[in-house]
Structure 1
Amino acid sequence: MFPSPVLTARQTRFIDEYLVDANGTQAAIRAGYGAAGARVAAHRLLTNVAISSAIGARQKADATRLWIDRENVLAGLLEAVEMAREQRNPAGMIAGLREIAKLMGFYAPTAAKVDVGLRASAERDRIEAMTDVELFSLIGEISAVTQI
């Protein structure tokens, strides 16, 4: 078992500040990193395994302490959307629904695996082997066909 890495005082302060508003750049500035390089420092800090693990552990502890889970957050957002509907506030409804969609993972990127057969692979190899002149000629032929 490896010992857990010791964080510096400034790294610990960054974690505290990041948990305030989840804004890495501002957290870095408030933790004492220079404003000019705060964005880069925040990225470096947030990709540090020890720091991201500490942030995750603190968020989980806060959620447990406050009895907040995904279901409670979703219920609160749905209640807010309903209140916005009653107040005839479409912007509020949209904002609430956007947050619900994020929570539900609707904005998560999707990965698509495309399996090209041997024929497509051979065609790709043929096109990659073409000179610029041959490629421009091919583009001209395609353009002429699509304009008909």
Structure 2
Amino acid sequence: MPTLTPKQQRFVAEYAVDRNGAAAAVRAGYSARSAKQIANELLTKPDLRAAVAAQEARIAADLEVTRQRVLDGLLEAVEMAREKADPAAMISAWREVGRLCGYYAPDRVQVGVQLGDAGAAELRRLEAMSDEELAALMEIGSAD
């Protein structure tokens, strides 16, 4: 695994503070003008992403934060909101519980298409066409 530069190490430490890539880049000493782009580039590097994950794991361990502890705290907040008759706070806490449990993750749907012999032949014909031929075919289709 490649070693991170001192500036990249600083970025990792700063990113762990608030997970704001552009702000972390600026605090780490990168140019403010290109901070957003630099942060994006840094966060796509596997070694840097691994360092961020390791830093976050260290912080969670130091704070003794676990998924279960967070859930317990949120459920406690729900009960406190119920006792105070604060429906907005209850909804907010339940929303966070749902998010933590993965209920708001998008459904992944995989769609498959089966082509008959005629469809497969047409697909092969289209794949064999040049860009110019495809562009001309699109022009014909848009004129209809």
Q: Structure 1-normalised TM-score? A: 0.72
CA RMSD of aligned residues (A): 2.6
Matched, 1:91 2:88: yes
- The equivalent residue for 2:67 is 70
Q: Helix, strand or coil: the match of 1:5?
A: coil
- The equivalent residue for 1:132 is 141
Q: Shift of residue 17 of structure 1?
A: 0.8
Return closer, same or farther for 1:41/1:89 CA change in 2, 3 Å cut-off: farther
- The equivalent residue for 2:54 is 57
Supply the distance in 1 between the matched residues of 2:38 and 2:59 (Cα, whole angstroms). Answer: 25
Q: Shift of residue 23 of structure 1?
A: 1.3
Percent identity over the alignment? Answer: 45
Q: Shift of residue 56 of structure 1?
A: 0.7
Supply the distance in 2 between the matched residues of 1:34 and 1:89 (Cα, whole angstroms). Answer: 45
Matched, 1:105 2:114: no
Q: Helix, strand or coil: the match of 2:109?
A: coil
Supply the distance in 1 between the matched residues of 2:142 and 2:14 (Cα, whole angstroms). Answer: 57
- Stretches of structure 2 that go unaligned for 5 or more consecutive residues are 127-136
Supply the distance in 2 between the matched residues of 1:92 and 1:35 (Cα, whole angstroms). Answer: 37
Supply the distance in 2 between the matched residues of 1:133 and 1:9 (Cα, whole angstroms). Answer: 55
Return closer, same or farther for 1:111/1:18 CA change in 2, 3 Å cut-off: same
Supply the distance in 2 between the matched residues of 1:18 and 1:53 (Cα, whole angstroms). Answer: 13
- The equivalent residue for 2:111 is 114
Q: Helix, strand or coil: the match of 1:118?
A: coil
Amino acid at match of 2:141: D
- The equivalent residue for 2:33 is 36
Aligned residues: 129
Q: Shift of residue 77 of structure 1?
A: 1.1
Supply the distance in 2 between the matched residues of 1:37 and 1:98 (Cα, whole angstroms). Answer: 35
- The equivalent residue for 1:139 is none
